[in-house]
Each structure stands twice: as structure tokens, then as C-alpha cells.
Amino acid sequence: VGGGGQPKPTNLEIRKARTELTFKEDMDLPLRKSHENPEIINLYKNYLKEPLGHHSHHYLHTTYAPNKTRDMATYNVDEAAGLDSILARYPKHPQYLLPIIIEESDKKGYISDPSLVKIANHVQMHAPHVESVISHYHFFPRKHTSDTHVYLCRCHNCMMKGQKKVMQAIKEKYGVQDFHGSVSKNGKFTFHGMNWLGYCVNDGPAMLIKRTGGDYVETLTGLSGDNIEESLNSLKGKTYKWAKNNIVEQSLKSKGKEYSLLENHISVKDAIKKAVQMGSMKVIKEVTEAKLLGRGGAGFMTGRKWESAYKADVKEKYVVCNADEGLPSTFKDWYLLNNENKRKEVLAGMGICANTIGAKKCYLYLRYEYRNLVPNIEADIKKLQSECPELAMLNYEVRLGGGPYVAGEENAQFESIQGSAPIPRKDRPSSVFPTIEGLFFKPTVINNVETFACVPHIVQQGSAAFKTNGLPKLLSVSGDVERPLIIECLLNGYTLNDLIKDAKARDVAAAEIGGCTEPLVFRDKFSMPFGFGKNVLNAAGSVVLFDTACDFGEVYSNKLHFMADESCKQCVPCRDGAQLLHKAFDQMRTTGKTKYNERSLKTAAEAAKLSAICAHGKALDPLFDSACEYLKSKKPL
């Protein structure tokens, strides 16, 4: 009495009364003995057969076995050879964990146990913690399987152009069963799946290649079942294969508008000098009056964000450029960073922001798949600082990610830079924004690549010129189009119908707006304008067009696969719910029914929506609802 969370009895009388009540409750129960329970009787009758029999003994009893202690440090110490030279270049702090992991993985192709222990000691972390952090990334194997790792992209663009046939050819020719780390029968390749390569829109189907010994990635595009062996056998020497830019640009100037982010070239040197002369409050005022919204998806007012960080009475502040473009079918940031002039504008925008809010350090967090851009970015940083004395003392750093889509979430990105697992912060109050507690829990401005690219234009040309007739916005357009496009539009009534016309697409039946997490948009919503907020199409950046020949059931299956595969696994309703909903949808799509009842599926979707920490889990419910509605109608809604 008094256990199981009950209030602790304060005297003998209360204990006695509670004891009597407990016995009375038990006596009044209609079913008191387990061997009289109809469900237990039925269990023994149909399955366990008899008490103390073979089945009941096997399934109801527990067997204990001693655990084998794993001492990482006692493995082959030669596997950590050469690591000391890498560690010598980095301070002993957790924030350098990811750069060290990337260098060691580049050199040896995997992270051995002895290497992990050495790295953990250097960055002052426990080895199991480091192992846990590594497990959240996609590109750092923990054991050697082959010297070449192959990652096949399964985005809409690649799947629409025949990636399934490529996968089937690989299974037949290389003897692999799946794409979860399977090794080819000749031992040369390890095959993986990935959800978004990025520049694969240039010529899908595509795959990313990571060979041991190189500090770069390679790309094979235009694949087919017939040329897969020839393509993989062409990987020789130190000359790496990199995607060519096949993207068509449609700027506002080409449409006769006054201002174009793509075609208006400015002097970043003059813009930086002018920003310093204006002073912080005038720069913030100009950015605010330009009505510049965050280009990463949330659409938050950039001026308000900068003002909040500026007013924070703290010496240590940071600026982070979010270049982890992991949302499938979005490639505008890669397009900007792949252009020398636009790349300098992004870096200048970061510098202007740092000078405005009083930050001394800028991070450009670049997704791993884009790592071949690092040499050009770092060269442009040096050039910019040599030409602009105002930024000479500013510390820029390009920080590579490791693959997971969720690392694009701002708090997950902070955690990644700090050396922790790239997952959203679950203990952050909703009222505490990054401008109060961001990177290293200090005031931080984090903006998207496109957002920072706009800043020097606003400073040099003025807010009035920048927002003439509406705000310029870049949209990544792919799918059933002749070639992928970067369309620059004005957020002033520009509709999906307008985009379809500009893209010269035909027989469009549906579109995906804003990435894999969003429901498909059918013809009844083609007249809606792009923007941020309610009653508009999300202008985050990606638009995939599907014609009438498309199998929308397969598209929805791919979207739900993405939701399950890219869950950070922190929230149980998102982790388990995404797997459940994907499995149930595929059953309904192929057989017309599922073993899960409708109520349990609805509960799983709603639980993720209500309890998920980040937007990824919250998107499950509307996405699954839309997928089920499509199955019921079997036609565009």
C-alpha cells in the first residue's frame, strides 16, 4: 500500500483504510483470476497448448546470457595510423568533431574503433557519445567494406527518368539485394540509397561516388541499365567526375521587369563599404523596408531577426549561412554557389550581417554532397577579405555537413557545428529564438543562401529599387520539363499557372510545391499565387511538375519513404509513425487494403503532428491524408 505512485500514507489509520479499500476493489472485480480469463484460456487453447509446456516455457520465460565487453581501444591499433597528423591541426574541443571525422573518413574510407577512441579523447568526449553522433550521418561507415561507396539518388527527378531500372540492373550485375550498404559480389563497390543528390536535375538518373583517399565526391549522370558497368569502371585515377550545369535561367529582366537578383550585378566591395558607413540601425532599417523574407522556407522577416540579434547585449555572436539544401528537388542554392559572382554576393551578405549585429565569426554550413564547391568558396573568402578591409578581421569558416536532411533545421545545424548529433533541440522553449540562444547558445543570425545573396543588392541599390513591383524570388523547377529551370518571379500574384506557362510545360496534372514533405497540388489550385503564409503556395524554392502520364501513387510512396528515411528518430510518433504510414500506404496502393485499421493510422498521423519537435514530423498528417484521398479518387483532385 502506498506504492505505484500513490500518495505516501501519513499515519496507520490511513494505511489501514487504504488496505481495506484495495481488498474490496479486488473482491468486486468481475474477473479476478488469470486462469479464468477467456483471453488467456483462448491463448493456451490455440497456441501455448498447456501450462509449463514447450511453447509456454519457450515464450514466457526469460533466458539471460553474459554480455561480451567491447573494448574499442584493443582492436588493431594500425587502423588509427596517420590520425595524429589530422588531430594536430584541430583544437581539443567538441566543435571540431565533424571536420576530423570527415578527414579521417576521406583518408581511410571508414572510422575504425581505434580511430574513434583517439578522436573522442582529442575532442574531450566519450567514445560511445562520438559513435552515437556518427550514426546520425550518412557518409561515415564504421567498418571497411570496399574502397568505393556508391549512393543512388531516389528523388522524383531520378525516379521519373528510370532510376528503378538502374537499381534493378545493379542488383542483377553486382549481386546485391538492397541499397543499405550491400557489397558487390566482386568486392569493389558498396551500394547505398540517398534521397536527394541536388545537381542530379542536370541529367538524371544519377549517383554520387565516394572513393577512399580523395577529399571530393564524384557524380555519374545520365545512367541507364545498359551503361552502369561502363560508368562505374570509368572511375580511375585522381581526375574526378563532376556534374555539368545544364540548368536554364529565366530572370525577371528577361521578362521586362525592373530588378533581377540574377542579372543585376553589383560591386560587393562598394556594398560592404556602404553598409559600414550606414551603420547598423540604418542597414537593419533598409533590410526591413525591403520586406526581405527568409528564403529557406519559414519566410520570417530578415530585418526583425537582425534587429533582435543586434540588440542582444552579448559580446559573442554568430552568423550562420544555411547551405544544407537537403530538401529534395531544391537546387537554387547550389546554382547560386556554383556561380562566382553570386557566391561572392552570398559571402558579402554574411559579412554585412556580421558587421551589423556585431559578430566576429561566420559559418557557411554546406551539405556534404556539395563539398566540391569548398575550394572555390574558400578562395573567394580570401579574395573578398583582401579587397575589403572592413571584413579583414572577420573569421569565415566553411563547415561541411554529413548528409541528413534534418541538419537543415536551424537548431539541428547548431548542434552539428557544436559537435553533437544533428537533431532539433527538444528542450528549447518556443519563445526562445536563435537570436537569443543559437549557436553555442549565443545570439545567432541564421539565414538561407538566397537570403544573404539579396543583402548587398538591398544595401547598394536601396530597398525601394529591390522591391519594385514585388519581391524577387528564385524557384527550382524540375520534373516533366524539357530542362531544369531556375525561374525568378515576383511574389506579387505570380501563380502556378504562370510558372507552367513560363516553363513551357504541357499536360501538367499535378505539382509538388515546397518539397517532399508537402501534399501534391492538383489543377484546382493552379491559380493560387506563390508566397509565404496562409492561402498561398509555399515559395521555399522547389516546384516539381508532373504530367498526366505520371503514377501519383508511386510519387506519394516516394514521399512517404522520404519521411520515414529522413526522420531523426528523436520523436517516437515521427520515427515509428512514418514507417507505419509508409508501409500501410504501399499495402493500400498495391492490394487495395491494409492490415492496419483506419483509426490506428489516423492516430499515428495525428500523434506525429501534435508532438513532433520540428516541422518534419508535423508534416506527416496532412501528407498521409492527401495520399489516402488520392487513392480513394484515383484521379487528380
Whole-number Å distance between alpha carbons of 163 and 175: 17
User: Does CATH number 3.40.30.10 belong to domain 148-233?
Assistant: yes
* Class at the top of the CATH hierarchy for domain 260-466: alpha beta
* Cβ atoms < 10 Å from Cβ of 612: 24
Ramachandran quadrant class, 358 (left: phi over 0; alpha: psi -120 to 50; beta: rest)? left
* Class at the top of the CATH hierarchy for domain 473-633: alpha beta
Backbone angles phi, psi at 138, to 5 degrees: -100, -20
pLDDT of 66: 66
- Confidence check: pLDDT of 131 > 70: yes
What share of the chain in percent tops pLDDT 90? 68
Sign of CA dihedral 129, 131, 135, 137: positive
Whole-number Å distance between alpha carbons of 219 and 542: 22
Helices 340-357 and 449-461, axial angle in degrees (round to 10): 80
Stretch 432-441: mean pLDDT: 94
Q: Specify the higher pLDDT residue, 255 or 60.
A: 60
- Confidence check: pLDDT of 517 > 90: yes
Residues 6+ apart with CB under 8 A from 350: 319, 321, 362, 364, 396, 452
Tell me which amino acid residue 511 is: A
Which cell is 240 given? Answer: 574526378
Three-class SS state of 529: strand
Lowest pLDDT segment from 87-91, 225-229, 314-318: 225-229
- Confidence check: pLDDT of 258 > 70: no
What is the DSSP annotation of 591-610?
Answer: HS--SS-HHHHHHHHHHHHH
DSSP one-letter code for 8 = P
Sign of CA dihedral 574, 577, 582, 585: negative
Residue 150 is inside which H or E element, if any?
A: strand 148-153
What share of the chain in percent tops pLDDT 70? 93
Lowest pLDDT segment from 113-117, 211-215, 226-230, 495-499: 226-230
Stretch 439-448: mean pLDDT: 97
Which cell is 234 given? Answer: 570509368
Q: Specify the higher pLDDT residue, 23 or 139.
A: 139
- Confidence check: pLDDT of 8 > 80: no
One fold for both 148-233 and 473-633? no
pLDDT of 637: 37
Lowest pLDDT segment from 137-141, 248-252, 509-513: 248-252
Tell me which amino acid residue 247 is: I
Quick check: 573 and 600 in contact, CB under 8 A? no
Whole-number Å distance between alpha carbons of 222 and 505: 21
Give me Rg for the CA atoms of the chain: 28
Lowest pLDDT segment from 122-131, 296-305, 322-331, 582-591: 296-305
Distances (CA, A) of 28 to 23, 24, 31, 36, 361: 9, 6, 9, 15, 70
pLDDT of 71: 62
Give tens-digit pLDDT for 144-191: 999 999 999 999 999 999 999 999 999 999 999 999 999 999 999 999
pLDDT of 5: 61
Task: Please report which confidence band the pLDDT of residue 53 belongs to, taking 50, 70 and 90 as the band edges.
Answer: confident
Stretch 283-303: mean pLDDT: 91
Q: Residue 198: which of 405, 343, 345, 347 has the closest Cα?
A: 405
pLDDT of 75: 57
pLDDT of 426: 81
- Cα of 551 vs its chain's centroid, Å: 25
Ramachandran quadrant class, 538 (left: phi over 0; alpha: psi -120 to 50; beta: rest)? beta
* Cβ atoms < 10 Å from Cβ of 21: 11
Backbone angles phi, psi at 83, to 5 degrees: -70, -30
Quick check: 243 and 216 in contact, CB under 8 A? no
pLDDT of 635: 47
Whole-number Å distance between alpha carbons of 336 and 476: 11
- Confidence check: pLDDT of 18 > 90: no
Q: Specify the higher pLDDT residue, 425 or 348.
A: 348
Tell me which amino acid residue 557 is: S
Mean pLDDT taken over the chain: 90
Lowest pLDDT segment from 27-41, 125-139, 163-177, 191-205: 27-41
Tell me which amino acid residue 275 is: A
Stretch 294-318: mean pLDDT: 92
Give tens-digit pLDDT for 70-81: 566 555 667 888
Stretch 86-90: mean pLDDT: 97
Structural domain spans, the chain: 72-135, 148-233, 260-466, 473-633
Q: Residue 118: which of 88, 84, 95, 85 has the closest Cα?
A: 84
Tell me which amino acid residue 139 is: F
Task: Please report which confidence band the pLDDT of residue 636 belongs to, taking 50, 70 and 90 as the band edges.
Answer: very low
Q: Residue 540: which of 236, 296, 209, 239 has the closest Cα?
A: 296
Residues 6+ apart with CB under 8 A from 461: 259, 264, 266
Sign of CA dihedral 291, 294, 299, 304: negative
pLDDT of 31: 85
- Confidence check: pLDDT of 67 > 70: no
Which cell is 171 given? Answer: 542488383
Stretch 325-353: mean pLDDT: 95
pLDDT of 100: 98
pLDDT of 4: 59
Stretch 593-605: mean pLDDT: 89
pLDDT of 198: 87
Sort strands 248-250 and 485-490 into parallel, antiparallel or unpaired: parallel
Task: Please report which confidence band the pLDDT of residue 15 belongs to, taking 50, 70 and 90 as the band edges.
Answer: confident
Whole-number Å distance between alpha carbons of 289 and 191: 50
Whole-number Å distance between alpha carbons of 152 and 190: 11
